[in-house]
């Protein structure tokens, strides 16, 4: 028997509506207590059961693999500021992967690769994380801020501090030899 596992082909009936340049990297049958489905990782993002759209790698706040269960926490845009967006966690979604194969590895690698810069900062009355992420098909980094729970996100002082922190992060990651 060889050292390499033969790649399983995703059945056509389980195939999500992929874009022309999108390709399947790994998949697994899954259950989440509300019915079964298929979790599919592509070069552009993650397709989860019950969703009619892909979650881009840059939109996944956290993905955790327990050895049996995959927990995905997507982020959603709350507001757009000058040069960055503020995101918040969506509810975590859990899936029991029936034959995970390479899927957990691909998810970890892709989410990790999308993060180019991350730094947690204290701000007036709370804290937040400034993140520069790579987005497929977009040049440069896309900047996001995810505030810790309880941080007064409508406070003008917090917004001014955040604007400054994002500007400093952008400056620190911009190549000077262009």
Q: What is the pLDDT of residues 95-130, one digit of tens each?
A: 999 999 999 999 999 999 999 999 999 999 999 999
Predicted pLDDT of residue 8: 76
Residues 68/25, Cβ–Cβ less than 8 Å: no
CA–CA dist 138, 162 (Å, integer): 23
Residue 147 pLDDT > 80:
yes
Q: What is the pTM of this model?
A: 0.88
How far does Cα 93 stand from its chain's mean position? 13
CA–CA dist 139, 39 (Å, integer): 28
């Amino acid at each position: 028997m060889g050292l390499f596992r033969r790649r399983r082909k995703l059945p056509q009936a389980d195939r999500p509506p992929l874009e022309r340049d999108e390709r399947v990297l790994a998949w697994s049958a899954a259950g989440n207590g509300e019915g079964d489905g298929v979790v599919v990782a592509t070069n552009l993002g993650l397709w989860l059961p019950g969703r009619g759209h892909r979650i881009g790698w840059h939109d996944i706040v956290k993905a955790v693999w327990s050895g049996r269960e995959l927990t995905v926490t997507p982020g959603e845009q709350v507001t757009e500021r000058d040069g960055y967006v503020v995101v918040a966690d969506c509810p975590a979604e859990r899936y029991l992967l029936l034959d995970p194969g390479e899927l957990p590895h691909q998810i970890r690698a892709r989410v990790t690769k999308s993060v180019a810069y991350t730094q947690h900062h204290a701000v007036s009355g709370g804290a937040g994380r400034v993140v520069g992420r790579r987005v497929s098909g977009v040049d440069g980094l896309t900047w996001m801020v995810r505030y810790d729970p309880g941080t007064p996100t409508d406070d003008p002082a917090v917004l001014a501090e955040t604007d400054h922190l994002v500007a400093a992060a952008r400056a620190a990651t911009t190549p000077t030899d262009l």
